[in-house]
Structure 1
Amino acid sequence: MQTHEIRRRFLDHFVKAGHTEVPSASLILDDPNLLFVNAGMVQFVPFFLGQETPPYDAATSVQKCVRTLDIENVGITTRHNTFFQMAGNFSFGAYFKREAIRHAWSLLTSSVDDGGYGFDPERLWVTVYLDDDEARELWKEEAGIPDERIQSRGMADNYWSMGVPGPCGPCSEIYYDRGPEYGRAGGPEADEDRYLEIWNLVFMQNERGLGSGKDSFEILGPLPKKNIDTGMGVERVAFLLQGVDNVYETDLVRPVITRAEELSGRTYGTDHEADVRFRVIADHARTAVMLIADGVNPGNEGRGYVLRRLLRRIIRSAKLLGAEKPSMGEFVTVVSDTMSPSYPELATDFERILAVAVGEETAFLRTIAAGSKMFEAEAEQVKAAGKKVFGGNEAFVLHDTYGFPIDLTLEMAAEAGLDVDEDGFRSLMAEQRKRAKEDAQARKHAHADLKVYKEFVDRGPTEFTGFNELVSEAHVLALISNGVRVPTAKAGEDVEVILDRSPLYAEAGGQIADRGTITASGLRVQVNDVQKIAKKVWVHRVTVNEGQITEGDIVLAQVDPGWRRGATQGHSGTHMVHAALRQVLGPNAVQAGSLNKPGYLRFDFNWQGQLSESQKQEIEAVTNEAVAANHHVNTFVTDLTKAKQMGAIALFGENYGDEVRVVEIGGPFSMELCGGTHVQASAQIGPVTLLGESSVGSGVRRVEAFVGLDSYRYLAKERALLAGLASSLKVPSDEVPARVEALVERLRAAEKELEATKAAAVLASAGTYVDKAHRIGDVLLVAEQAPDGVAGNDLRGLVSDVRGRFGTQPAVVVLLGNADGKVPFVVATTKAAQDLGIKAGDLVSSFGPLIGGRGGGKADMAQGSGSDVSGIPAALNGVRGRVAELTGNS
């Protein structure tokens, strides 16, 4: 049975049983404890917590999930995926244990012809919580499972919670016996490889308190309602029904391995180490595509860092398998083809997903090239010192700082005839993971208590009147102070105000909240911020300036008109810049975030590489031409499918309802899904001036701009600056650029001349150093401090010149400098000195530690730098002592 069919049968089964089918939420939800959605129940948390009243009493979904805690183990075990689909059914007080057990058993064991999965009932085992005798009896009654196939397990295995204070309860798990060839007999307690968990039924009936771990928290008492939260692992059921050995060989994952075989020339199933790499590619490629589809971009922290690790592990694994050419595009294509029947957005958004993944591959291949050079330099130093082990610390720095994979370090070390201190590397990695885990745990906290808002969330959304008016009469529904409802608030107090209707825009979609006032007779309240609760209720954060506000008051809520005018200019300007970017750069320049406020906009977009000056000028020109055209701004509400068919652009990662608001500016020029406030015609935006363009992460660029009066003021300031320069240079304004360029060229020429004079003076001093040479045995040694400020090529050139003056004599030249608090040094030896066993690279170790430095090189020349100027005298003595030892004159 194909995976897409497994999904469909699950949903159909529960819809027929009276459940409402709910689409999968995005992998990115606004949850402080989660980087990614990792369970089917996450989008229903507000219902379980009692913060919102669900619109249905029973639901079913197939939720996209990502778990990356044990990313290093992917491919080693045969039953774990980083991306997986969790099919679930949920009851919000409608039914409990008996019905949950009945529904699960019916779907699993009914025949395929009757819409079930056709599992053999004799091969199914269940576990229950230690003292849950009720569940044990229900399994016997509803499913006919004998007592010997029902096992009781403790809190760590069969008691569920979110890991923080909130709902919890005992659970019951269903396992499938794969047979004696997969492990020991004796049920799940004996072997969880042979007995594979495929379904977990959580009887959510209690509330947990503080504590850590899976079994060290207090049960505070029962929840108001008994709920059901179950999850069936789609991938696990798929590999059982498809008769394959593991989750990597199912119909949606194996095609990626097949493509990797074609690209690498290797065969899956013939070598364990290679098989792990094949599985890593297959698993991570699917996860990466799904994350990019939901709006994640590669980066150096948070979600972006996880995605970057996944993509780089794919690239690394393909390289180690022998793939010679870039392969990311191939893997993305296969994943899109196999997964799009269930997730059509992968096909419609294919070009953007492909561009993000391939862009990261291109960047990482450059990283590998740079890392290889760093490795080679370090390996050369190891060998120059006569050692055979590449340090664990150096391997960790390559991995952690430069993103250079340890597998490549091991491979290259072997080619260079070196071992790697793997124990040291693993120890440092373990310390890093421990710190990361502790940091994540420190940030993890209970869900914010939003119960005080529940009444108003259930009442329905705040009526937003701000599209049509700036002043609205409203009723004060509630006042909230420090999470508690209060009847009144007096002058000088800060409080939250909930109104039945409001013209003030609540922050959303990159547009910051309106500022304004709430007034009545003898009352004046300053609105400082407006936020949404559950995307429905407007919460006005205010300061009472005059009088007293009381629950039940009739008031006037008013937007600051100047603020709103600037805010609409900024928001509409953002749409115009987005449209111009796509016109100039193409459809892959997709929005990755924005911020707009009065007079200013910031727009992030997916793009590889810095924009050229001509591109920036063209984007600004296209934007302002559209502004000057005075396009009408048209807004309308339609259903999501129709909006997308019309070409409206949606923000990736954003969850939209069935009905959406479309903002259209100039017909096809700009059409986006947007709930923000806008100008009525594009000319009202005023001039748009791009301030600059920069990088905010791999594959993400940012443009910033002023609009309206702020744009005018900026241009006026620039004009005044230009006029000042013209006056100082005594040329017309249009000649300033050429005159400045000429001055810069003259300055550069003068600097070069100065450098040449300085270098000549340095070289001229070579003779004085030759005169300072003293003989140690048969060797002439120059060990001196160079003039302050001499460094780099000048110091190297001076040392070479001094060495050259000794001709065929055995000679060693060591000069240490003092440049900006650093101690650059160069060591050179003549051929005759090398024949006596004196090598420049070896001499560094005799004085490097004394100046807090390190360096390396070859037998004839070595160089490096230190950080301790005070150690120069001791370092020079160290060189003299070492040369004496080597010549037998110590």
Structure 2
Amino acid sequence: MRTSEIKRRFLAHFEANDHTVVPSAPLPAIEDPNLLFINAGMVQFVPYFLGQQTPPWNRATSVQKCIRTPDIEEVGKTTRHGTFFQMNGNFSFGDYFKEKAIELAWDLVTRSQADGGYGFDEKVLYASVYHDDDEAIKLWKKISGLPDDRIVRLGKKDNYWSMGIPGPCGPCSEILIDRGPEFGADRDWEAGDRYMEFWNLVFMQNLRGEGTNKEDYEILGPLPKKNIDTGMGLERVAYLLQGVNNMYEIDEVKPIIDMASELTGKRYGVESGRSADSAHPDDVRFRVIADHVRTSLMLIGDGVVPSNEGRGYVLRRIMRRAIRSIRLLGFEDRALPELLPVARDCMAPSYPELASDFERISSYAYGEEDAFRTTLRQGTTILDVAVQQTKKSGSDTLAGDRAFELHDTYGFPIDLTLEMAAEQGLKVDQEGFRHLMAEQRRRAKADAQARKTGHADLSHYRKLVDANGPSQWLAYETLRTDSRVLGILVDGRPEPIVRQGAVAELILDKTPFYAESGGQHADAGLITAPGGAAEVIDVQRPIKGLVVHQIRVTDGELAVDEAVTAEVDPEWRLGARQAHSGTHVVHAALREVLGPSALQSGSFNRPGYLRLDFSWRSKLSEATRSEVEEVANRAVRRDLPVAVKYMPLAQAREVGALALFGETYDETVRVVEIGGEWSRELCGGTHVEHSAQIGPVVVTGESSVGAGQRRVEALTGFEAFQYLARERDLVTSLAAEVGAPRGELPDKIAALIQRAKDAEKELASLRAQAIMSSAATHAANAKQVGDVFVAAVLAPDGTNGGDARTLAMEIRGKLPADRPGVAAVAATAGGKASLVVCVNKTGVGRDVSAQALVKAALSGRGGGGAEVAQGGGVPADQAQVLLDTVVSEVGPA
């Protein structure tokens, strides 16, 4: 049974039993500050389990994409774990409990495949329960007919669940399968793979307190509502039903290994006589390739792009591990163009968007591989230098700090360092390298812990919603409402009244204010009462259904249960509508000019201003920027109709509505169209009625915001007109200043700039000649320090680094060739001093090193070799001290 069919049957089974099918949340864990990625099926339902939000359904089911990366370096060493997996789950929020959960699971697991089940043989199935959960044992016997010897009692470590923090918890019950004696000893529940758990049912019934580990915490009492959270590992069930031994052999993974084998000419695992769980280096590499290529596909598909921080850094690491692994298997050409399409074909039956979006996905993946291949070339050069220096020092071991520098600074993998060092007869100080890596991990962990915020206290917001219902939000209908104050919070605490000068959060029964979302800034305006007034400085939705106004009381006071008038600044709203519609127009213009892969990845707009981040790997030329601007303004001139439609999410996707990667959408979505299909996006913002109301669109900037991400900034409406008027005035002023008609201004300015450059070059040449002409004099005035001639020269103020280097080399060339000679030149420019040291060949032969002298003068900084080295960055008044240090390091006079 294909993995996609296992997924389909799971969702169909629970949908037929009155569960709402909830789409998988995107892999980036946008809503949880403690997570980079979704790592369990229940993560998107956490606010419901914690009581922070009211679930929109009593029963739900999902197949959630998950990623776990606790230690990426361990992936591939066994067949048990990978970074990407899928978790099938069914959830009850205060509806059914133990009996129904066991009944639904057992039915699907044991029902015949012909009748839509999985068809597992009941004779090899077991159930585990928490050791004192007698109720669960009775239910298993009643529903499944399992005898006592196939119901296993396990302790708190294995069969009691919590989120690791105070909150909901409860006993677990697992379905296990006996895979036979070849996988382990009889009745050995703790070790081996014989008794494989593939479905975990969590009976969430209690509240836990603080604790120090997985077992050490107090049970405070029962929850007011009992919940069900289950998880069935899709990959695990796939290899059980497909008759293979592990996740790397299922239909969604093994074809990637097969392609890697074809590319490298090497064979994987059982095909070459090794065990399925072999730790042979080649098998580890094949598994790394398969897992990491699939994971990369899924991450990029959900909007993550390679970068040097956060989620993008994890993606970059796993991509580089895959590329490195196939290189170590002997394939040195571009591998991802061969492997990624195979992963796409494996996963598209379950996730068809991977096929339709493959052009964008592959452009990032292939670009990252090209960049890493360049890194490998650069790292190889640096490693060669390190190897030569190690050999020259007489050591047979490359220092751990050099290996760490290659890894940390240049992204050069340690196993590649080991391999290449061994080819040249060197070992690597792996212990030193591991120590530095451990220090780095400790620092990173401490930093992450310091930044961890945990779940915010939303209880006061929750109470307001429970007591009064959701806020009546009228931002689409009106700019003014007569409202009632439901609550006031100051520093997170409820207050009955708030007075002039105070900043507070105000909750109204109904509001016309737009709450910041979808990249659109919150509305501004006023809230007035008979005895006071306040300006609205921000509007947010801390929990679903509640609109919260941050206010500053400007007059009198406001009180709970008071009647007020809430009014949006109409000019602010007009500018916001123009900017948001302008964002859609610019996005459509980018896609028209650059192609469909130029997809929005983020945006922000406020009245008159917009910025839009989009997927693109290179800088836009001036001509391209102008073309985008022209297409946008042509759309404005055509006065295209702007329409808002509500439809099911599936229908919106069918008609091609664009969604922002990483966002989670409800089943019914709002689609904004400008000119019909020309611009069709999912959007909750406020918009104009016709494109002409946007006014002029002026692109003011384009820049990089990360690997493969560009940003366009633009102005709309009156702000755009003001910008153009300022530009006009500037051009008029410049034309008058240089005495040229406006049309000839570019040529006139270019000629002036060229004249200035020519004069600068001439001055630089004269200055260099003057400096170089002094080389003979400086050489003649060299002091003898021991048996070394040293010329220590303070260059004229303003001498640049290049001229200082040239002068030092000129002086060295004029020192006696048969005697050790050192030329040291210190220069000052821009408030900083720099130092260049050159040593002649006779001096190098006497173990005089330019690099050592520079590092001594600059406290370890600087770089270069034995003959030429340089450094700088110290205050200009230290220039003479640098020279004196060089002289003293050469030896006593």
Does the TM-score normalized on the shorter chain lie above 0.5?
yes
CA deviations on 1:678-710 (whole Å, 9 max, x unpaired) are 122222222222221111110011111122222
Change beyond 3 A, Cα 1:815–1:53: closer
- State which of 777, 784, 787 in structure 2 corresponds to 1:768: 777
Give 1:278 shift. 1.6
Q: Which amino acid aligns with 2:26?
A: S
Give the match for residue 525 of structure 2: 516
Equivalent pair of 2:398/2:429 in contact (CA under 8 Å): yes
Q: CA deviation at 1:565?
A: 0.9
1:338 paired residue among 346, 349, 372: 346
- Name which of 269, 275, 278 aligns with 2:283: 275
Q: Provide the C-alpha distance between the structure 1 equivalents of 2:429 and 2:532, rounded to a whole number of angstroms.
A: 73
Asked if 1:757 is matched to 2:763, the reply is no
Matched, 1:865 2:871: yes
What is the count of residue pairs matched by the alignment? 875
Counterpart among 844, 852, 860 of residue 859 in structure 2: 852
| 1:661 partnered with 2:674 | no
SS at match of 2:541: strand
Equivalent position of 2:477 in the other structure: 468
How far is the alpha carbon of 1:335 from its aligned partner? Answer: 2.0
2:361 paired with 1:349: no
Q: State the Cα distance separating 1:114 from its structure 2 match.
A: 4.1
Q: How does 1:329-478 map to 2 (within 5 A)?
A: 329-454=337-462, 461-478=470-487
Match of 1:828 in 2: 839
Return 613-622 or 11-20, whichever deviates more: 11-20
**Distance in 1 (alpha carbons) for counterparts of 2:528 and 2:862:** 72
Give the secondary-structure state (helix, strand or coil) at the position aligned to 2:312: helix
Q: 2:889 maps to which residue?
A: 878
Identify the range of structure 1 (195-204 vs 92-101) with the bigger mean alpha-carbon deviation: 92-101
Task: Report how far residue 179 of structure 1 moved.
Answer: 3.2
3-state SS in 2 of match to 1:252:
coil
Distance 1:751 1:314 in 2: 51
Q: Is the partner of 1:39 in helix, strand or coil?
A: coil
| Corresponding residue of 2:573 | 564
- Change in CA separation of 1:857 and 1:308 when aligned onto 2, cut-off 3 Å: closer
State the match for 1:574 in structure 2: 583
The CA distance in 1 between the partners of 2:263 and 2:833, in whole Å, is 49
Q: Does the aligned pair in 2 maintain the 1:340–1:346 contact within 8 Å? A: yes
- CA distance in structure 1 between the aligned counterparts of 2:863 and 2:605, rounded to whole angstroms: 53
- Given the superposition, is the C-alpha separation of residues 739 and 387 from structure 1 closer, same or farther in structure 2, using an over 3 Å criterion? farther
* AA at the equivalent of 1:243: G
Distance, in Å, in 2 between the alignment partners of 1:121 and 1:98 is 19
What SS does the aligned partner of 2:548 have?
strand
- 1:473-493 deviations in Å (ceiling 9; x for gaps): 345444455556555555555
Could you say which residue in structure 1 is the equivalent of 2:728? 719
Q: Which residue of 1 aligns with 2:703?
A: 694
Secondary structure of the residue aligned to 2:175 is: strand
Distance in 1 between residues matched to 2:557 and 2:776, nearest whole Å? 90
How has the CA–CA distance of structure 1 residues 2 and 636 changed in structure 2, closer, same or farther, with 3 Å as cutoff? closer
Q: Does 1:637 align with 2:649?
A: no
Q: What does residue 209 of structure 1 align with?
A: 209
Partner of residue 318, structure 1:
326
1:856 shift after superposition: 6.8
Amino acid at match of 2:513: L
1:815 counterpart (807, 820, 824):
824
> With structure 2 as the length reference, what TM-score do the two structures score?
0.91
* Structure 2: segments with no counterpart, 5+ residues: 273-278
The answer as to whether partners of 1:795 and 1:826 remain within 8 angstroms in 2 is no
Check whether the contact 1:570–1:596 (CA below 8 A) recurs between aligned residues.
yes
How many angstroms apart in 1 are the aligned matches of 2:490 and 2:802? Answer: 67
CA separation in 1, counterparts of 2:684 and 2:497? 32
Could you say if the C-alpha distance between residues 140 and 632 of structure 1 is closer, same or farther in structure 2, counting changes exceeding 3 Å? closer
Measure the CA separation in 1 of the matches of 2:585 and 2:869.
55
CA RMSD across the alignment: 3.0
- CA deviations on 1:804-852 (whole Å, 9 max, x unpaired) are 446863553432424454443333334x777xx4366x56436733542
Per the alignment, residue 295 of structure 1 pairs with: 303
Aligned counterparts of 1:545 and 1:795: Cα–Cα separation in 2: 63
Q: Secondary structure at the match of 2:704?
A: strand
Going from structure 1 to structure 2, the CA distance change for 1:236 and 1:812 (only over 3 Å counts) comes to same
What is the rounded CA distance, in whole Å, between the counterparts of 2:196 and 2:583 in structure 1?
52
Aligned pairs for 1:778-793 (under 5 A) are 781-787=789-795, 792-793=801-802
Shift of 1:718: 2.8
Does the residue aligned with 1:526 lie in a helix, a strand or coil? strand
Which whole-Å CA distance do the structure 2 matches of 1:64 and 1:856 have between them?
48
Correspondences of 1:89-168 after superposition (within 5 Å): 89-168=90-169
**Superposed displacement of residue 591, structure 1:** 0.2
**Alignment partner of 2:435: what SS?**
helix
Task: String of CA shifts for 1:395-444, please: whole Å, max 9, x gaps.
Answer: 22332233222223223333444332221221121122222223333444
Q: Which moved more, 1:524-533 or 1:85-94?
A: 524-533
**How far has the Cα of 1:198 moved from its partner?**
1.4
Question: Contact (CA 8 Å) 1:791, 1:824: kept in 2 or not?
Answer: no
Name the residue aligned to 1:532. 541
Q: Kindly provide the amino acid, as one letter, of the partner of residue 859 in structure 2.
A: G
- For the residues of structure 2 that align with 1:593 and 1:13, how far apart are their CA atoms? 37
SS in 2 for 1:817: strand
Within 1, Cα distance between the matches of 2:651 and 2:150?
52
TM-score between both structures, scaled by the size of structure 1: 0.91
The amino acid of 2:325's aligned partner reads S
Local SS of the residue matching 1:414: helix
Post-superposition offset of 1:230: 1.1
AA at the equivalent of 1:76:
K
Is 2:719 the partner of 1:730? Answer: no
* Alpha-carbon distance, 1:58 to partner: 2.5
Contact 2:790–2:887 (CA<8 Å) still a contact in 1? no
Deviation per CA, 1:51-101: give whole Å up to 9, x if none.
333343332221111111121111112111211111112222323223323
- Structure 1 window deviating more from structure 2 (499-508 vs 450-459): it is 450-459
What is the distance in 2 between the residues matched to 1:541 and 1:359? 44
* Between 281-290 and 598-607, the greater mean CA deviation after superposition: 281-290
Shift in CA distance, 171/445, structure 1 to aligned 2, threshold 3 Å: farther
SS in 2 for 1:537: coil
* Range with bigger deviation, 161-170 or 583-592: 161-170
1:345 is displaced (CA, Å) by 1.6
The amino acid that maps onto 1:607 is W
CA distance in 2, matches of 1:641, 1:91: 24
Q: Offset of 1:605 from its aligned partner?
A: 0.4
Structure 1 residues 253-262 or 850-859, which shifts more?
850-859
* Alpha-carbon offset, residue 27 of structure 1: 2.2
Residues in 2 aligned to 1:548 and 1:744: alpha-carbon distance in whole angstroms: 62
Q: Is the 8 A contact 2:296 2:319 kept in 1?
A: yes
CA contact (8 A) 1:478 1:485 kept: yes
Q: What's the counterpart of residue 23 of structure 1?
A: 23
Counterpart CA distance in 2 for 1:678 and 1:219 is: 51
